[in-house]
Each structure stands twice: as structure tokens, then as C-alpha cells.
Amino acid sequence: MSQIGFSLKPKRAFAWSGLVPVVYIIFLMIPLYWLLNTSFKTNQEILGAFTLWPKNFTWDNYLTIFTEPVWRAGYINSITYVVLNTLISLVVALPAAYAFSRYNFLGDKHLFFWLLTNRMAPSAVFVLPFFQLYSSVGLIDTHIAVAIAHTLFNLPLAVWILEGFMSGIPREVDETAYIDGYSFPKFFVRIFMPLIKSGIGVAAFFCFMFSWVELLIARTLTITEAKPISAVLTRTVTGEGVDWGLIAAAGILTIVPGALVIYFVRNYIAKGFALGRV
């Protein structure tokens, strides 16, 4: 009897609060649905009639994008520099995070805060100097330029996240490995990295995310060869007679890589977002 009474109460509370996330997700999905809806319409229908779903369903907008080389190239460019950035950030951040989590050294606290300040720097401040800097070293309009420029905000974040995860691994692990005769690089790659692999995953996720969504710097540093997909999109907006159907289709396509990444990390989202700091 008492068991029934016990289970009734949480159940009733659940039924009520269970609505909250559903309502929130509906709120998130409505604008996305509208974009999807618009992408399947002809421009005539978009501007002429207000319809909740496409009356004259068409794939034309998507076909245009897939057949025009500018759009395809935009995709490849974006993915190239995002992946480059993620790799650079991780490779460089891993040893640094280890140093911060294991040792005290001259000026470590100041250095850490200085690194974090770069995460706070408004991109707008750096737009013009970046253009001049990368022009003067001849890297303008290359993928590597954007990848390096994005380390400005991704590297501090990666160090911060990894440091959190590494601090959760007891020092004894390191010491045991050294006693067993591991050299530092061997220990780091064979033993330590597998221990913090969820941390590496989370750091990679955040690097990917912030590099993928950024536009201002990416657009400034590229002209044609490395132009990101999202910059191609803005160019269409400024053209005469806005092609809303095409914009909507392109918008939907820029959401796809992000959705794929989320799908791959779905099991880590809940724990990983704590950044090892709970």
C-alpha cells in the first residue's frame, strides 16, 4: 500500500513538468520548420500566398545549390578549415592543459587568465588587424589562415575544458606509469589520453561548434578560394531581388553538418557539457 502511495506522487509531478521540455522544443522547432517549409516552395508561392506547407512542392532550390560550384566549394571550404582548426587546437592544447593541471610554474595563473581573455575578445576588434596581418604573411584566402585565426577563441576554450577533465585524473596514475618505465610521450598517448577521451571529445565538439558557426573572421580572411558556405549565403542576400527559397534551402543545408555532429556525440552530451567540473 505504502508503495503505491509513494509512487503516485512523483508520477503526478512528472506529468506536469514533463510538458515543459516539450513546449520548449516546439518553440525551438517552429522557426526551423518554417525555414524547411520555405525551402520547398517556389518564390512565387513564398511571396504570393501564405501557406503552412508547400502547395507546389519543389526540389529546385536544392538542385540549384548542388549544381552550382560556388555552393559546393563553400561547403568544402567550411569543413576544411573547421577540421583543421579542431586538429590544431587539440594537438596544441593537450600538452598545455596537462602542464596546467599537474604543475605550478612561473606565472601560470596569469598565463591561464590571459589565455581566457582571448575567449572574451570581441571578434569585431580583430577584423581589421587580422586582415592586415594575414595579408602581410601572404596567407589571406587560405584555409589555414581561418583555422589559425579561429584558434584565438578555440584554443583557450580547449585548454580550459581539457584542464578540467585532466584534474579529475589522480596524479598516482602518472607516477605509476613512470615507475613502470613509460617515457612521457608514450605514457601520454597510451595511458593518459584514453583516460580523458570523453574530455577530448567534448573539447573537439566545442572547437568544431565555435569554428563552424563563426562568420565575421572567416569572411574577412577569405576572398574566393576558401570562402565559407555561410559567407556564400550572405552574398545571395545582398543580391538584387532576394531569392528566399534558395536562401532557405542553403540555410537548411548548413544545419545538416551540425545535426550530424550532435547525433554522433548524443550519448556524451549530458555528462560532457559539465566540462569535467562537477
Q: Which is nearer to other proteins, 25 or 63 (CB)?
A: 25
Give the binding range for other proteins (CB under 8 A) out of 54-62, 64-72, 191-199, 270-278.
270-278
Q: How far is CA 278 from CA 168, 197, 269, 271, in A?
A: 10, 17, 14, 9
In angstroms, give the least distance from the CB of 98 to other proteins. Answer: 6
Give the binding range for other proteins (CB under 8 A) out of 53-61, 66-74, 123-131, 192-200.
123-131
Binds other proteins by CB under 8 A, chosen from 90, 146, 204, 229: 229
- Interior CA angle at 108 toward 105 and 113, to 5°? 175
DSSP state of 214: -
Q: Which is nearer to other proteins, 171 or 190 (CB)?
A: 171
Indicate whether 273 belongs to the interface with other proteins (CB under 8 A).
yes
Binds other proteins by CB under 8 A, chosen from 8, 32, 87, 223: 32
Q: Which of residues 63-122 bind other proteins (CB under 8 A)?
A: 88, 92-93, 95-96, 98-106, 108, 111, 113, 115-122
Indicate whether 195 belongs to the interface with other proteins (CB under 8 A).
no
Evaluate whether 160 touches 199 at the Cβ level (below 8 Å).
no
Evaluate whether 158 touches 173 at the Cβ level (below 8 Å).
no
Q: Is 276 left (phi over 0), alpha (psi -120 to 50) or beta?
A: left
Indicate whether 173 belongs to the interface with other proteins (CB under 8 A).
no
In angstroms, give the least distance from the CB of 35 to other proteins. Answer: 5
How far is residue 127's CA from residue 218's CA, in Å, rounded to a whole number? 10
In angstroms, give the least distance from the CB of 181 to other proteins. Answer: 20
Binds other proteins by CB under 8 A, chosen from 84, 90, 146, 155: 155
Q: How many residues bind other proteins (CB under 8 A)?
A: 99
Q: Which of residues 244-263 bind other proteins (CB under 8 A)?
A: 244, 247-248, 251, 254-255, 257-259, 261-263
**Cell output for 256:** 545538416
Indicate whether 204 belongs to the interface with other proteins (CB under 8 A).
no
Q: Which is nearer to other proteins, 122 or 181 (CB)?
A: 122
How far is residue 203's CA from residue 211's CA, in Å, rounded to a whole number? 12
Which residues are within 8 A (CB) of 199 and not within 5 positions of it... i.e. 6 or more apart? 161, 162, 164, 165, 166, 276
What number of other Cβ atoms are within 10 A of residue 77's Cβ?
22
In angstroms, give the least distance from the CB of 92 to other proteins. Answer: 5
Q: How far is CA 260 from CA 151, 218, 223, in A?
A: 23, 22, 28
